[in-house]
Amino acid sequence: MPREPDSLSRAKIPDDSFLNKRTNWLQGPFRRVIIIIYFSYLRATLAHPQCLDYQPPFKPPYHLEFCRHYEKLGCCDQKMDNRIAMRYWDIMDLIGDEAYAVCGDLVKDIMCQECSPYAAHLFDAEDPYTPVRHLPGLCLTYCSDFHSKCHSVVKYLTNSRTLLETCEKDRSHFCNLINLSDQDYCYPNVLKNNDLYSSLGKVVEDTKGCLQLCLTEVANGLRNPVLMVHSGDDTHRMFVAEQVGFVWVYLKDGSRLEQPFLDISGEVLTTPWLGDERGFLGLAFHPKYRNSGRFFIYYSILINGKLEKIRISEMKVSAHDMNMADSLSERVLLEIEEPAANHNGGQLLFGLDGYLYIFTGDGGKAGDPFGKFGNSQNRSALLGKVLRIDVDGSSIDGKPYKIPPDNPFLREPDAKPEVYAYGVRNMWRCSVDRGDLLTGYGRGRIFCGDVGQNRYEEVDIIVKGGNYGWRAKEGFECFDMKLCQNTSLDDILPIFAYGHHVGKSVTGGYVYRGCESPNLSGLYIFGDFMSGRLMALKEDKKSGSWKEKNVCMGDTKTCSFPGLINHHHKFIISFAEDEAGELYFLATSYPNAMSPFGTLYKFMDPSRRAPPGKCKYKPLPVKLRGKKVPFIPRELTVLGISETPTRSPLEKIILPTKPPGTRQPIRAKPTTSAPKKKIPAKTTTAKLSQKKLKKTTPAKEKQINASTKTPKKVPPNKKSLLQTKKDKKATGKPSHNPKLSIKGALERKRTKSLKPTKPKDVTKPKVWLQKIEKTEKEVKKPVKSKPKVTVSKKNQDNSKRQQQKENIPLSKKRKLFK
């Protein structure tokens, strides 16, 4: 298919090398104007919701405490929100209360742009070839206001030398550097853009209402890949089958095992004819495969060079290698003669009831010409049916399977007991709905695409005993007028049908129940083999009807994520689901059983993803005996790269011990069984004393611990009253100054005091931070008195010398403890 050019996505800022003698007139203002126009176009082309990790935005699973504006849809989970908040408060500790009152909200808004659903655009991260900025793109007016009030804060927000120098010298130049040329996307204009936020988080639709999705390439070089299934054993391996009879194992890391899981190419009937429907067609793993190792296959065979049949067999995995089938373990369950080369059916699956469902074609040719009513309406024939058998036992009549006791035609003499539903033409690809992840709605429903004859293709939901109309009807219309007018037909209409102007061969799909793309949940996604068209159906639960939604490949802007592509091969052979419920499809550019042009694609919704960590799972280990073949992508991605770029983090803020004009708040440390000595006052002098106290001998430590008792926390409104009561017990007199702690006076009577240490010359702090319990805010309050230290009688001489140096009379100091 033609590929869209990705030159815009890989564009870089042009340098002077593109100028020559003939373009000297572009120097100066003319060149600037051209570059601005060019990048304005570039930004308008590439702008789309994207986070700084180069992935779509998401809805956080929990409430965001800091950047609350983005808790409905954005790029931050609770962990990232807390990280931004911690950095913010570290900065606020440095700038002080006055600057906080002016700049607090502005800095918060700027830092929270990392949580914006358009964060990649604001930080120049949409193009992974350019460095990611540390400051988001600010509109000129907003930037000018921010700079005039808070230019001193910029040094904490970025370590860019260019920004820091221009911030100090020229406001206009600084704002031009961090501005975005597209004014619709700079902050805060991006919040006011209705076009950007009206459909934010929803699947992108074009002007015709077509859902725009993107793809990732998972595997390539396959020869007409007819199916992909998982084994359901928690290894998350994917088994991809080729029409020629090979089954390959793909691991979670994208690699393929060198040796095939199964090779029955010598038994399978297939030809190099273009569009030949015969070959290896079906594979299903037993629900208890992890313990039993049993799986089932469906393929075409030729007997004695003349008779064509379809064969359903049971096989087992090798006892020595979990990635290889036991080639000698095949046990044939059923063989059905095929009168023609086409309409071979081929689907095998296990329902929630544990029974094996087999989907056969009507026998081929055109119009089901076999017998009076055709094979499909003849319940005594196994062709054109949905069969259901129990593979966990054998019947009395010698069949290697049992008939489920509730099969609808078990007791009818003119019907085959295996028949579960009839009236189907050639159902190509069916699936079991996993059900809604929360409510379980829809769980167990079987969806099928039934290929039409001349006019219509249809999608059906299989029910027990249902008649799906063929050959009396095709889609909603009559095909055989005599059979169609029969009142006993009682057929079940399809949930959807489309004409051959849309496509000529339906390929059944899956109801998406995965985790990674929540917008797709509940959509039945399928396609058409001939036209290469992707489609979706959405159920109206009230009426039970299904509404069609076309699926398109997203344009360059929509799919501008690392590793994404927006094109696929035309011929859609099959759809698939991995063990986690994510959706895939297989297609080829040349539908020949021998042509190695088949590719496996995975769907991806670029508008919204699941929260980080929600879809993580831990596969069971896979024991490998052979070599692995690494995956090498062939498709050209939109951005031209598959690797996810990385963003260099900001440098950590190192808080100084004493910022100018204020001080760092003391953070609470976890207490131990023996609490450390805590000085009441919180000044720098007291801190230095504490450091010296830590250097005491073990004997002195015991003395300190014995003399230190952690006081009980008391509400502020009751503190003065309690202190007065304690003061009466200790001294017999009420305290004259309730604001002062009485702890020092009590310790002087009960224990021996410590020798005060001589602090170094330190500038007196002007303020101290006091935590108020009611408001939980930090308030700065002037301090007039110095910190109090417990002084014993033996050490009063040393105390006198210290107080004389500080010019404080000893008499005043003694009065404080009376």
What confidence tens digit (pLDDT) does each residue in 625-670 have? 999 999 999 999 998 866 555 555 566 666 555 444 444 444 444 4
- Angle at which helices 171-178 and 161-169 pack, to 10 degrees? 140
pLDDT, greater one: 271 or 773: 271
**pLDDT at position 674 over 80:** no
Quick: pLDDT tens for 584-596: 999 999 999 999 9
In terms of pTM, does the model score above 0.85? no
Dihedral sign from CA coordinates of 460, 462, 468, 470: positive
- Work out the pLDDT band at 121, boundaries 50, 70, 90: confident
Dihedral sign from CA coordinates of 481, 487, 491, 492: positive
pLDDT at position 180, please? 86
**pLDDT at position 45 over 50:** no
DSSP sequence for 235-291: S--EEEEETTSEEEEE-TTS-EESS-SEE-TTT----SSTT---SEEEEEE-TTHHH
pLDDT at position 136, please? 94
CA R_g for the chain: 38
pLDDT, greater one: 112 or 792: 112
pLDDT at position 738, please? 40
pLDDT at position 792, please? 47
pLDDT at position 644, please? 58
Helical ranges in 481-597 per DSSP H: 481-484
Rounded alpha-carbon distances, angstroms, from residue 341 to 43, 272, 504: 55, 14, 19
**pLDDT at position 540 over 80:** yes
What mean pLDDT is predicted for residues 740-758?
41
Quick: pLDDT tens for 292-303: 999 999 999 999
Tell the burial category of 646 from Cβ atoms under 10 Å away from its Cβ (0-12, 13-18, 19+): exposed
How many of the other CB atoms lie within 10 Å of CB of 414? 8
Dihedral sign from CA coordinates of 271, 274, 279, 283: positive
CB 647 within 8 A of CB 132: yes
- Work out the pLDDT band at 207, boundaries 50, 70, 90: confident
Q: How open is the CA angle 665-671-676, to the nearest 5 degrees?
A: 80
Quick: pLDDT tens for 133-178: 889 999 999 999 999 999 999 999 998 889 999 999 999 999 999 9
DSSP sequence for 332-351: EEEEEE-SSSS----EEEE-
pLDDT at position 233, please? 96
Q: Cα(715)–Cα(373) distance, rounded to whole angstroms? A: 92
pLDDT at position 654, please? 62
Q: Cα(83)–Cα(81) distance, rounded to whole angstroms? A: 5
Quick: pLDDT tens for 371-410: 999 999 999 999 999 999 999 999 988 899 999 999 999 9
Q: Cα(197)–Cα(49) distance, rounded to whole angstroms? A: 10
Indicate the helix (H) or strand (E) that contains 707: helix 698-707
pLDDT at position 689, please? 44
What rounded mean pLDDT belongs to the chain? 80
- Alpha carbons within 13 angstroms on the beta-carbon side of residue 519 total 22
SS3 annotation, 569-630 = CCEEEEEEECCCCCEEEEEECCCCCCCCCEEEEEEECCCCECCCCCCCCCCCCCCCCCCEEC
- Work out the pLDDT band at 193, boundaries 50, 70, 90: confident
Quick: pLDDT tens for 52-74: 888 999 999 999 999 999 999 99
Residue written as token pair 């359903």: 312
Q: Which residues have a Cβ under 8 Å from the Cβ of 128 and sit 6 or more positions away?
A: 54, 562, 639, 641, 644, 645
Quick: pLDDT tens for 700-744: 444 444 444 444 444 444 444 344 444 444 444 444 444 333 333
465: left (phi over 0), alpha (psi -120 to 50) or beta: left
Tokens in use for 36? Answer: 């601005």
Q: Cα(285)–Cα(231) distance, rounded to whole angstroms? A: 6
**pLDDT at position 15 over 60:** no
Indicate the helix (H) or strand (E) that contains 746: helix 743-750
